[in-house]
A = this chain, B = another copy of it.
Amino acid sequence: VRADAVSSEVRAKLNARGERMTRPRQAVLAAMTGNADHLTVEEICAAVAALDPAVHRASVYRTLDMLVDLGIVQHVHVGHGSTVYHLASSEVAHLHLQCVRCGSITDAPLALLSSASDYLERTYGFTLDSGHVALAGLCRSCTTETSSSA
């Protein structure tokens, strides 16, 4: 499956920098390639622990930092809640929507912000990284509940 391909890619990039492929790093990669597209550190730790209980939480953080540095994974800041991580190559690039009420996260097409992005570039010289933070709002079900009850 793709997990192996990603693992080889990482190994190559690490070698090129004189760094190493280790058990903790393999476990984190396996966790990232074998689960939902965006995961919290908590979830990654759980998946990693299932594969190799000896891997320490701190190593998960360090490995994630390294993978971000290599461009293999990206992290997304989620307003209320901890940062989530996903593979950079995760299907198509996308952005995230978080419901401020129930906390659920939904994906949306990156193109959604392309005109805003162009405008910011032209007007402020600001290069938008659309996927880097989750947009906040109310999801459909929470909107419904809020308007009917309360």
Interface residues of A (CB under 8 A from B): 77, 79-80, 97, 99-100, 106, 108, 112-113, 115-116, 119-120, 124-130, 132-140, 143
Instruction: Pick 17 A–B contacts, CB within 8 A, sort by A.
Output: A77-B77, A77-B80, A79-B132, A97-B120, A97-B124, A99-B126, A100-B129, A112-B120, A120-B137, A124-B139, A126-B137, A126-B139, A127-B143, A130-B135, A132-B136, A133-B135, A133-B136
Q: How far is the CB of A113 from chain B (nearest CB, A)?
A: 6
- CB pair B79–A133 under 8 Å, yes or no, is yes
Q: How far is the CB of A40 from chain B (nearest CB, A)?
A: 15
Task: State the copy count for this chain.
Answer: 2
Residue of B nearest to A113 (CB): B116
Given contacts A80-B77, A120-B97, contact A129 B138 (CB under 8 A): yes
Task: State A135–B106 Cα separation when bound (angstroms).
Answer: 17
Given contacts A112-B119, A124-B108, A139-B125, contact A132 B97 (CB under 8 A): no
Task: State A99–B120 Cα separation when bound (angstroms).
Answer: 12
Q: A125-B140, A127-B143 are in contact. List 16 more A-B contacts (CB 8 A).
A: A77-B77, A79-B133, A106-B124, A108-B120, A108-B126, A112-B120, A113-B116, A115-B115, A116-B116, A120-B137, A125-B143, A126-B137, A127-B137, A130-B135, A132-B137, A133-B135
